[in-house]
Amino acid sequence: MKLIKVLTGLVSSLFLSTYAIAGYIPVGVQTDVQATTFDTWGWTACYQKVENTADYTTISQISSRCNGGYTLMGLYDIANQSYAILAAGESNVVFNQTPGVFGSYLVDGFNISNGVNWYLYDNPTSVYGGWGFFSPDSTVRPIHCDYQDQGNVNKYSMCLHMRDIDGAGDGDSSDDYYNDVYTYFNAGQMTSAGTNFEIRLFTQDITTNDVPEPFSIALVLFGLLGLRFTTKSK
C-alpha cells in the first residue's frame, strides 16, 4: 500500500510539473480562456497595450519582438481575467503580408496555420487596413477592418484596425501601426472592444504540444491500480 501511494504521488508530481512547464499551442480559434489556464501554456509575452490607447509601435517592430516560431494573438478581458478570443499560428504566416486586391473578400482556405486563417492587409489606396485571424467556414473583408459575415454562427475572428504611420497608403504593412480592435466575432456575434480589454501578443518556439495526453496518463493509473490488486492478492 505504501508503495502504491509513493508511486501515485510521483506520477501526480511528474504530470503537474510537466504541465506547468510544457509548451502548448492551441489549435483553431479559442474563446473565453481563463488566465489561470493560459498561464500554464508556456508562452512568452512580446507585446501588449490597453485597447483604445495611443501607441505607434509598427508591425515590423512587433514582429521583431515576437520572434519565436509561433505567435499568439489575443484579446484579454481585464475585468474577467480571461481571454475573450485568441489564436496561435506560425509567425511567418501571422506576419505575412496578404497579397491581392484589397477590397476583395478573403474566404476559408486563405493563409492557414494551425487551423486558423490569417491576414495582414494594407490598403495601397488608403491609410487603413486590417490584421487578424478568422475561423474556417467564414469570410472576412479587411478593407477597413472586418465586419463581414455577421450572423454566421461558425465565425470566430479578431481584427486589429491598422493605419499607415506616414499616411501614404503605400501597401506596405511593415510601417503600419494599429490603434484598436475594430471587431471580434464569437459565434457570428460582432463586438467592439473598449478600455477594459488589452491586446496581447505572445511568442513560443516549440513545434509540438508536449502536455501529456489523457490516454497516456490513464495507462499509468491503470497500471498502478493493477499493481495494487496484485499486492493485495499476495
DSSP readout, 153-177? TT-EEEEEEEEETTS---S-GGGEE
For residue 85 the three cell numbers come to 478570443
pLDDT at 11: 43
Percent of the chain with pLDDT over 90: 41
- Res 215 pLDDT > 80: no
Q: What is the DSSP letter of 110?
A: S
pTM of the full predicted structure?
A: 0.76
Least confident of 125-129, 158-162, 200-204: 125-129
175 Cβ contact partners less than 8 Å away, ≥ 6 residues apart: 58, 59, 60, 164, 165, 166
Q: Which of 222, 83, 213, 101 is nearest to 158 (CA)?
A: 83
Is 60 exceeded by the pLDDT of residue 35?
yes
* Residue in the structure block whose three cell numbers are 495601397: 124
99 burial (CB, 10 Å; 0-12 / 13-18 / 19+) is exposed
Mean pLDDT of the 91-105 span: 79
More reliable by pLDDT, 148 or 122: 148
Tell me 60's DSSP state: H
Mean pLDDT of 101-109: 72
